[in-house]
Amino acid sequence: MLPLQKGAWGALLLSVVGIVDKPRDFNKNKLANNDGRHRGRKSERKKAAKRSSGAIGLQRDAKEQEIASSLPADLDSLPRLKGFRLRGMEMTRLETFIDAAFAFAVTILIYVYPLKLLFGGMFYFLSGHVLGQLVTANTAGQVRALFAIYGLGFAAIALEILLLNLRAWRLREPLRLNEHEKSLTRGEIIGWSVPATVGRVSFVLALTLPMKHIGWSGWVYLTLSFLVPLQRTWHARRRAAEAAKRG
């Protein structure tokens, strides 16, 4: 091996350092490029989201304008129900029939028949097998399913009506709701949240309670006997206070 001069050792050391630094520089450049591409994709996603939200906003504005334009100029000439001016009375017979048939089917299949079955079993138990009817189930799973399905259906009906009123509240400007109608709409939203909550509680109890306490999934509906009047009283006092403030 030939001896290296003092300057050659320095050149060799610098070349080794350069070789070691090249992968490091390459990784830095690669990371910088990846970061730039990531920021570019993020920016494109933001632009796409803005375009989408803008399109949705335009559609919403167009729908609100369509609703506002379909209303008569003088809303006070419309028929009233508890002071609420009834809009949309010009529905066709076919639309009215379809809505009525759907509401009837849902009410019978999800609400009336299961309610009759559950309360028939409850009165059969309370009256010492004199009133009501015996409800039999082969397995514990069938009992849980009975209470769970009814609780889910009960909550779904209440939630559906709640959402309809919530939509009316969101469209209060194009619908030109006055203060009285806004108060009624708020009351309906809060009022229908009570049975929707009770139905969900019954559903959860049906799935979680031990079988010896499964009856509480049905007894919980008795809370509606005081929760609903309590909510109505509270809302009536609130409306009276708002009316007093308006003078």
Task: Judge whether 197 lies within some domain.
Answer: yes
Global confidence as pTM: 0.65
Residues 70-128: tens digit of each pLDDT:
777 888 787 887 788 877 666 556 666 676 677 777 666 666 666 677 777 767 766 77
Task: Judge whether 7 lies within some domain.
Answer: no
> Is the same domain home to 96 and 167?
no
Task: Judge whether 210 lies within some domain.
Answer: yes
> Is the same domain home to 209 and 196?
yes
Residue 17 pLDDT exceeds 50: no
> Is the same domain home to 143 and 245?
yes
Residue 8 pLDDT exceeds 80: no
> Is the same domain home to 246 and 181?
yes
Contacts 24+ apart (CB under 8 A), 86-89: 87/175
Buried b / exposed e over 9-27, threshold 16 CB at 10 Å, is: eeeeeeeeeeeeeeeeeee
pLDDT at 91: 59
Instruction: Enter the tokens of residue 190.
Output: 């809060």
Confidence of residue 13 (pLDDT cuts 50, 70, 90): very low
190 or 37, which is more confident? 190
**How many domains would you assign to the chain?**
2
Task: Judge whether 46 lies within some domain.
Answer: no
Confidence of residue 9 (pLDDT cuts 50, 70, 90): very low
Task: Judge whether 44 lies within some domain.
Answer: no
Tell me what the mean pLDDT of segment 59-63 comes to: 73
Closest CA to 213 of 137, 134, 147, 133: 147
Task: Judge whether 63 lies within some domain.
Answer: no
pLDDT at 110: 61
Residues 144-181: tens digit of each pLDDT:
888 888 888 889 889 988 998 999 899 888 888 888 88
> Is the same domain home to 187 and 111?
no
> Is the same domain home to 186 and 118?
no
Averaged pLDDT of the chain: 75
> Is the same domain home to 202 and 234?
yes
Q: pLDDT exceeding 70 applies to what percent of the chain?
A: 63
Residue 197 pLDDT exceeds 60: yes
Domain that holds residue 120: 92-136
Tell me what the mean pLDDT of segment 204-223 comes to: 88
> Is the same domain home to 195 and 221?
yes
Domain end marker among 112, 136, 160: 136
23 or 51, which is more confident? 51
Domain end marker among 111, 136, 161: 136
Task: Judge whether 11 lies within some domain.
Answer: no
Are 235 and 190 in contact, with CB atoms under 8 Å apart?
yes
> Is the same domain home to 157 and 242?
yes
Q: How far apart are CA 84 and CA 177, in angstroms?
A: 9
> Is the same domain home to 146 and 128?
no
- Give whichever of 46-60, 100-114, 137-151, 183-197 has the largest mean pLDDT: 183-197
> Is the same domain home to 148 and 215?
yes
> Is the same domain home to 222 and 166?
yes
Q: How far apart are CA 116 and CA 111, in angstroms?
A: 9
Q: How far apart are CA 136 and CA 70, in angstroms?
A: 54
Alpha helices in the chain (DSSP H): 6-70, 93-106, 113-126, 140-170, 179-208, 216-219, 224-246
Task: Judge whether 52 lies within some domain.
Answer: no
